[in-house]
Amino acid sequence: MRLILDLARGMLSRRRRQTLVSVLGVALGVAFFIAIASLMRGFQTYFVQQVIDVQPHIVIKDETRRPLPQAAEIATPGGAVAINGVKPRDRVRGIRSAGDKLAVLEAIPGASAAAILTGAALLRYGSRDVTITVTGIEPARYRRVANLEKDMVQGSLNDLRSAANGLIIGAALAVRLGVQMGDTVIAVSPRGVSLQMKIVGIFHTGLVALDQSAGYALLKVNQVLQDRPNVVNQILLRLADVTQAEPLARRIEGRFGDRTESWEEQNRNILTVFVIQNAIMYSVTGAILLVAAFGIYNIISTVVFEKTRDIAILKSLGFTEGDIQLLFLVQGMIAGLLGAVLGCVIGQLMIEGLGQVRFQTETPAGNDRFLMAQDWRIFAVASFFAVASAALAAVIPARRAARLDPVQVVRGAA
Amino acid sequence: MTAPLLAAEGVTKRLAEGVTLVSDISLTVTRGEFVAITGPSGSGKSSLLYLLGLLDRPSAGRVLLEGADTALLPAQDLAALRLARLGFVFQFHFLLPEFSALDNVLIPIRRRGVLKPEAARARAMSLLDALSLADAAAKLPEQLSGGMRQRVAVARALANDPALLLADEPTGNLDTKNAAAVFDIFARLAAEEGRTVLVVTHDADLARRATRRIHLVDGRIVSDERSAPA
């Protein structure tokens, strides 16, 4: 094996410049892959982090995945009688026996739970009306499942208790309404209940949708506003280990029957975008590596063509077809390996360079730079594909070399 | 009675185009013989050598090396036989240009892998030394003269201590003096080391130095004479 390596090195050294070019081709493919992959991975990790940070990990809703069967359907299952125009039973919406469920959920290790009631309301201040979603919370519990406290610019969650009907709204909403801390607005719910509410806090999350149309009040207050006494319509869960969200959500849904969504399910559209993004990335860098592979194919073919005499003599000396094939495969892999190593270095430099870029944005999350992931696995994958594609590119010329008939060559040279 | 080193039985080689290169040749070669195969161009002498050297397979007939039939052996086994029992020298030296004389001689030894690295180097050095090439060991082929290159090629052919040395017009590219030197080496290998040497040449003067001369015309043996070494 050492001999094969020595021979391969000797043959490649004769074509130093051409070898360098094909090595550089592989290196660029590897480097671009590494840079783009860590760029995307960094962004995706950041994004997921944001999502996990802002949202509860699991949401239990007051609905079921399939509509509950109607009494008429139960009475005549699949029968000959079809009843048209059945009106659903008018039942009080909300999560049933939420208190018991909360107790069960709190017992799960690493999980915190909070029950909330959300509902729409029209905020009126002077001549301005804005429709918002009011979330009724219990500050002590809610604090454990969401990071609202962190985003408060003025006031705090506890201030909800300081006023009779306290309301916390987003900064953008405050601007739209033209209200300030301590002002009193009128909130009207779809049920027609009207409450005077005092602004006791202003938050700023950076998510426009939230900042413009969300408000938080005490659970009791919102139950009054929505005219749904003692009802909660969501239970939020936060977990110590976010990766457990999906399986836990399935278990909870299986047990309670309420529709339960993990953060993954709620953000499926974005996560799907990531999959597409990755596919694009892989195909672009795959194309670069493909071009690089042609370079390797080219150099190995040239070497085989130039070295027909050497191949013939090696065969006459007693080298088998397998030896010869291996000899040229190894040459391809050497080129691939050199390219991979060089590519990793260039890739790292590109990561460092991209990490220096700053841009001017208004993103309130304070994200003014590329977020680069530093993951050895990206380097490993890139290197593996470089060496593999190089070996693959060398297969065809290597087989041609192996099949060479030494008699033909020797006769031709004589 | 031990089997002869090399035996051909009705060996024939035809090309796909219907041309017959070698036609129904039978001969035996014993140990220590120095055989010259002569004949005009196109008489099939090189083709016969390749067949006897297991580099090519006959269309009909069979070649026996040390009593063993090689006709049915797979390519891998033929390669192993070439590596261990045979040595080739061609008209062109065919040294690998990127490797020194010593490394070129080492290639078959390392491929065989029987000797340890130090022993292999010692053997290669002693082969070069025996051919007065000790000073050339570290040099690349392009730094050597034509005669020296061909001697390095002979050293490489002898690397694995072969029983049979086959040479195809080994002096074709050499001047008279160097050609004579190479034939001297062959004569010595046969006489002193008991190796069998098979040389294809069109030079009648050189052929006379062999102990046996086989003359080919149109792929057939027309004469086969033995003599004491000149």
Across the interface, do B96 and A313 touch by the CB < 8 Å criterion?
yes
Query: Which of A241-245, A248-252, B4-8 has the least mean pLDDT?
Result: A241-245
Q: Which of B98, B169, B172 sits opposite A11 (nearest CB)?
A: B98
What's the first-to-final CA gap in chain B, in angstroms?
Answer: 29
For residue A197, pLDDT beyond 90: yes
Residue A91 pLDDT = 67
Across the interface, do B90 and A313 touch by the CB < 8 Å criterion?
yes
| Chain A residues closer than 8 Å to B99 by CB | 10
Using 50, 70 and 90 to split pLDDT, how confident is the model at B228?
low
What average pLDDT does the segment A247-273 reach? 87
Q: Which of A312, A316, A413 sits opposite B82 (nearest CB)?
A: A316
pLDDT tens-digit map of A110-145? 888 999 999 999 999 988 999 999 999 999 899 888
What average pLDDT does the segment A161-180 reach? 91
Angle at A278 between CA A272 and CA A283, to 5 degrees: 130
pLDDT tens-digit map of B208-222? 888 999 999 998 999
- Measured CA to CA, the distance from residue A187 to residue A123 in angstroms comes to 5
- Measured CA to CA, the distance from residue B43 to residue B51 in angstroms comes to 14
Q: How many Å lie between the alpha carbon of A395 and the closest alpha carbon of chain B? A: 20
**Domain boundaries, position B221:** 6-226
Give B104 or A150, the one with higher predicted confidence. B104
Percent of chain B with pLDDT over 90: 40
Q: Which of A3, A310, A316 sits opposite B88 (nearest CB)?
A: A316
pLDDT tens-digit map of B33-60? 999 999 888 888 889 999 999 988 899 9
What average pLDDT does the segment A381-402 reach? 88
Using 50, 70 and 90 to split pLDDT, how confident is the model at A90?
low
Residue A363 pLDDT = 54
Across the interface, do B96 and A10 touch by the CB < 8 Å criterion?
yes
Using 50, 70 and 90 to split pLDDT, how confident is the model at B154?
very high
What average pLDDT does the segment A70-78 reach? 70
Percent of chain A with pLDDT over 90: 24
Give A69 or A35, the one with higher predicted confidence. A35
Q: Which of B56, B91, B98 sits opposite A414 (nearest CB)?
A: B91
- Contact indicator for A160, A201 with CB cutoff of 8 Å: yes
For residue A386, pLDDT beyond 50: yes
Assess A1–B contact: CB distance below 8 Å, yes or no. no
What average pLDDT does the segment A269-290 reach? 84
For residue A274, pLDDT beyond 80: yes
Q: Which of A6, A309, A318 sits opposite B108 (nearest CB)?
A: A318
Q: Most B CBs within 10 Å: which of A308, A313, A325, A405, as the mutation test of the B interface?
A: A313
For residue B187, pLDDT beyond 70: yes
In a domain? residue B1: no
Domains held by chain B: number: 1
DSSP 8-state class, residue A161: G
Give the number of other Cβ atoms within 10 Å of residue A246's Cβ: 16
Percent of chain B with pLDDT over 70: 98
Residue B230 pLDDT = 47
| Chain A residues closer than 8 Å to B110 by CB | 2-3
- Contact indicator for A37, A43 with CB cutoff of 8 Å: no
Cα-trace Rg, chain A: 33
Across the interface, do B79 and A315 touch by the CB < 8 Å criterion?
yes
Q: Which of A22, A15, A21, A6 is nearest to A327 (CA)?
A: A6
In a domain? residue B180: yes
Residue A414 pLDDT = 44
Q: Where are the alpha helices (DSSP H) in A152-267?
A: 171-177, 208-213, 219-225, 245-256, 263-266
For residue A394, pLDDT beyond 70: yes
Across the interface, do B94 and A312 touch by the CB < 8 Å criterion?
yes
Across the interface, do B90 and A413 touch by the CB < 8 Å criterion?
yes
Q: Most B CBs within 10 Å: which of A317, A327, A331, A411, as the mutation test of the B interface?
A: A317
In a domain? residue B133: yes
- Contact indicator for A154, A204 with CB cutoff of 8 Å: no
| Chain A residues closer than 8 Å to B84 by CB | 318
Residue A413 pLDDT = 53
pLDDT tens-digit map of A11-54? 888 778 888 888 888 898 889 888 888 888 888 888 887 777 77
For residue A373, pLDDT beyond 60: yes
Using 50, 70 and 90 to split pLDDT, how confident is the model at B128?
very high
Q: How many Å lie between the alpha carbon of A414 and the closest alpha carbon of chain B? A: 6
Residue A254 pLDDT = 86
| Chain A residues closer than 8 Å to B90 by CB | 313, 316, 410, 413-414
Residue B214 pLDDT = 93
In a domain? residue B122: yes
Interface A-B: count of C-beta contacts within 8 A: 80
For residue A308, pLDDT beyond 60: yes
Q: How many Å lie between the alpha carbon of A303 and the closest alpha carbon of chain B? A: 13
Residue A361 pLDDT = 64
Give the DSSP per-residue string, A44-70: HHHHHHHHHHHS-SEEEESS-SSPPPP
Residue A188 pLDDT = 93
pLDDT tens-digit map of A320-352? 999 999 999 998 899 899 999 999 999 999 988
Q: Which of B81, B177, B119, B26 is nearest to A315 (CA)?
A: B81
Across the interface, do A320 and B88 touch by the CB < 8 Å criterion?
no
- Contact indicator for A409, A308 with CB cutoff of 8 Å: yes
What average pLDDT does the segment B129-154 reach? 90
Q: Which helix (H) or strand (E) holds A114?
A: strand A111-125
Give the DSSP per-residue string, A346-368: HHHHHHHHHHH-B-----TT---
Across the interface, do A318 and B83 touch by the CB < 8 Å criterion?
yes
Return the amino acid letter for B60.
A
Return the amino acid letter for B38.
T
Q: Which helix (H) or strand (E) holds A196?
A: strand A194-203
Give the number of other Cβ atoms within 10 Å of residue B17's Cβ: 5
CB contact residues (below 8 A), chain A span 4-33, against chain B:
6-7, 10-11, 13-14
Tell me what ipTM this predicted complex has. Answer: 0.88
β-bridge mates for residue A238, sequence order: A112
CATH number at residue B157: 3.40.50.300
CA atoms within 13 A on the CB side of A180: 0
Q: Most A CBs within 10 Å: which of B90, B158, B161, as the mutation test of the A interface?
A: B90
Across the interface, do A414 and B50 touch by the CB < 8 Å criterion?
no
The residue in chain B having the minimum alpha-carbon distance to the alpha carbon of residue A13 is B98
In a domain? residue B107: yes
Residues in chain B whose Cβ is within 8 Å of chain A:
46, 50, 53, 55-56, 75-76, 79-84, 86, 88, 90-92, 94, 96-99, 103, 107-108, 110-112, 156, 160, 168-169, 172
Q: How many Å lie between the alpha carbon of A34 and the closest alpha carbon of chain B? A: 36
Across the interface, do A413 and B56 touch by the CB < 8 Å criterion?
no
Tell me how far the alpha carbon of residue A32 is from its chain's centroid: 21
Assess A313–B contact: CB distance below 8 Å, yes or no. yes
Give every CB contact of residue A128 below 8 A, 6+ residues apart in sequence.
A176, A177, A178
Across the interface, do A407 and B55 touch by the CB < 8 Å criterion?
yes
